[in-house]
């Protein structure tokens, strides 16, 4: 067996979950050498230390901000792009196992017996950025109570559902979960769909493209199919009173053909890094006009180019 290629790499300005996700993954194919002056840097937006590096830089974050191609050479982001320097990695596939969303072998009678509650919403904020979510919550809550234990729109008297396991346990007794994204951006799909599916609840979704490009259209309710929040609320209430129609939607596989999309495939990420590691060229930060005049300030954290 051939030895794994050695890669000089470091992380900067990253929350812990980024290093916890990428480092073990990369170590399956490469010998990662953590160096103070690396050849490659994975960085995020929690600080500015990454500006001290002039090596090949890979931007990773969980927001909708576009990359600044004057600062990074590549990007792994949860929004879609046609740029070949960019790898699309939706949030629902970041560090999550697709197995809970693959249907087969469930005891549907037992699952249906758990569905004793109507609808839930978990939301940490309610401001102008989530107006669609707020309008629909109030429209549905006027017709039938929606349990909302989050910090925003709270009507349960308690707040906080600890961790992913706690959230899934909370969702298991509900028929529906309001799964409205906070933004309409190409490819922007967070955990809002994953979590209800994993708890065998039906998502009520608002977001880019209605979610149809990723998820099975028969497995969730499309907010954009209705002319108003009130019409959508009427449909949800009617579906709750139609056991056969509700069961058909609940049992429909979340993914088309009951197969997870390639976004969950770690080889896809490793192949992207393989291209990064094997592509020669001068990093973008070394091509900027002021680099030669200021590189002495960067020497502490960087391997400087050979003159």
Shared domain for 39 and 114, answered yes or no, is: no
Shared domain for 295 and 272, answered yes or no, is: yes
291, pLDDT greater than 60: no
**3-state SS, residue 24:** helix
pLDDT digits (tens, 9 = 90+) for 235-248: 999 999 999 999 99
Q: Is residue 198 part of a domain?
A: yes
Q: Is residue 78 part of a domain?
A: yes
152, pLDDT greater than 50: yes
Q: How many domains does the chain have?
A: 2
Rounded Cα gap, residues 76 and 89, in angstroms: 6
Shared domain for 120 and 62, answered yes or no, is: no
pLDDT: which is higher, 105 or 293: 105
Shared domain for 139 and 196, answered yes or no, is: yes
**CATH for 212:** 3.40.50.11660
Q: Is residue 63 part of a domain?
A: yes
Q: Is residue 46 part of a domain?
A: yes
String of DSSP letters for 263-289: GG-HHHHHHHHHHHHH--S--HHHHST
Q: Is residue 125 part of a domain?
A: yes
Using CA atoms, how far residue 254 sits from 70, 113, 167, 171, 274, in Å, is 39, 21, 19, 16, 31
**What is this structure's pTM?**
0.89
Shared domain for 109 and 252, answered yes or no, is: yes
**3-state SS, residue 271:** helix
Shared domain for 56 and 126, answered yes or no, is: no
What is the pLDDT at residue 233? 98
Q: Is 276 exposed, middle or buried (0-12, 13-18, 19+ CB in 10 A)?
A: middle
pLDDT digits (tens, 9 = 90+) for 129-146: 899 999 999 999 999 999
| Cα angle 156, 222, 95; round to 5 | 70
Q: Is residue 306 part of a domain?
A: no
The dihedrals phi and psi of 242, each to the nearest 5 degrees, come to: -120, 90
Domain residues for the domain of 184 are: 99-258
Query: Mean of the pLDDT values across residues 210-225?
Result: 92
Q: Is residue 268 part of a domain?
A: yes
**CATH for 36:** 3.40.50.11650
216, pLDDT greater than 60: yes
Q: Is residue 247 part of a domain?
A: yes
Shared domain for 37 and 77, answered yes or no, is: yes
Shared domain for 253 and 278, answered yes or no, is: no
**3-state SS, residue 7:** strand
In this structure, how many other beta carbons lie within 10 angstroms of the beta carbon of residue 143?
13
Shared domain for 158 and 47, answered yes or no, is: no
Shared domain for 230 and 122, answered yes or no, is: yes
Provide the strand spans (E) within the chain: 6-12, 31-34, 40-43, 56-60, 74-77, 86-88, 117-120, 174-180, 202-206, 221-222
Shared domain for 251 and 129, answered yes or no, is: yes
Which of 270, 273, 269 lies closest to 89, judged by CA? 269
Confidence of residue 302 (pLDDT cuts 50, 70, 90): low
Shared domain for 167 and 276, answered yes or no, is: no
pLDDT digits (tens, 9 = 90+) for 74-96: 999 999 999 999 999 999 999 89
Rounded Cα gap, residues 253 and 255, in angstroms: 5
């Amino acid at each position: 067996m051939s030895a794994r290629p050695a890669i000089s790499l470091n992380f900067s300005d990253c929350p812990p979950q980024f290093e916890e996700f990428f480092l073990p993954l990369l170590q399956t194919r490469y010998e990662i050498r953590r160096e103070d002056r690396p050849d490659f840097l994975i960085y995020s937006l929690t600080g500015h230390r990454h500006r001290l590096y002039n090596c090949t830089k890979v931007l990773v974050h969980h927001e909708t901000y576009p990359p600044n191609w004057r600062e990074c050479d590549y990007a792994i982001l949860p929004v879609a792009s046609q740029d070949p320097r960019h790898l699309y990695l939706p949030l629902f596939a970041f560090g999550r196992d697709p197995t809970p969303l693959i249907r087969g072998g469930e005891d549907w009678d037992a699952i249906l017996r758990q569905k004793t509650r109507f609808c839930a919403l978990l939301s940490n904020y309610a401001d102008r950025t989530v107006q669609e979510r707020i309008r629909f919550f109030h429209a549905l809550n006027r017709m039938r109570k929606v349990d909302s234990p989050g910090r925003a729109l709270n009507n349960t008297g308690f707040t906080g559902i600890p961790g992913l396991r706690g959230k899934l346990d909370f969702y298991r007794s509900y028929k529906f979960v309001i799964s409205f994204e906070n933004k309409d951006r190409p490819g922007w799909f967070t955990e809002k769909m994953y979590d209800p599916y994993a708890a065998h609840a039906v998502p009520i979704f608002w977001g880019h493209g209605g979610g149809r490009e990723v998820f099975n259209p028969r497995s969730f309710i499309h907010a954009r199919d209705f002319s108003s929040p009130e019409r959508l609320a009427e449909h949800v209430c009617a579906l709750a009173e139609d056991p056969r129609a509700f069961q058909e939607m609940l049992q429909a596989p979340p993914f088309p053909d009951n197969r997870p999309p390639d976004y969950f495939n770690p080889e896809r990420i490793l192949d992207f890094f393989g291209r990064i590691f094997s592509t020669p060229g001068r990093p973008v930060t070394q091509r900027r006009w002021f680099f030669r005049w200021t590189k002495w300030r960067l020497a502490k954290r960087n391997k400087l180019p050979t003159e």
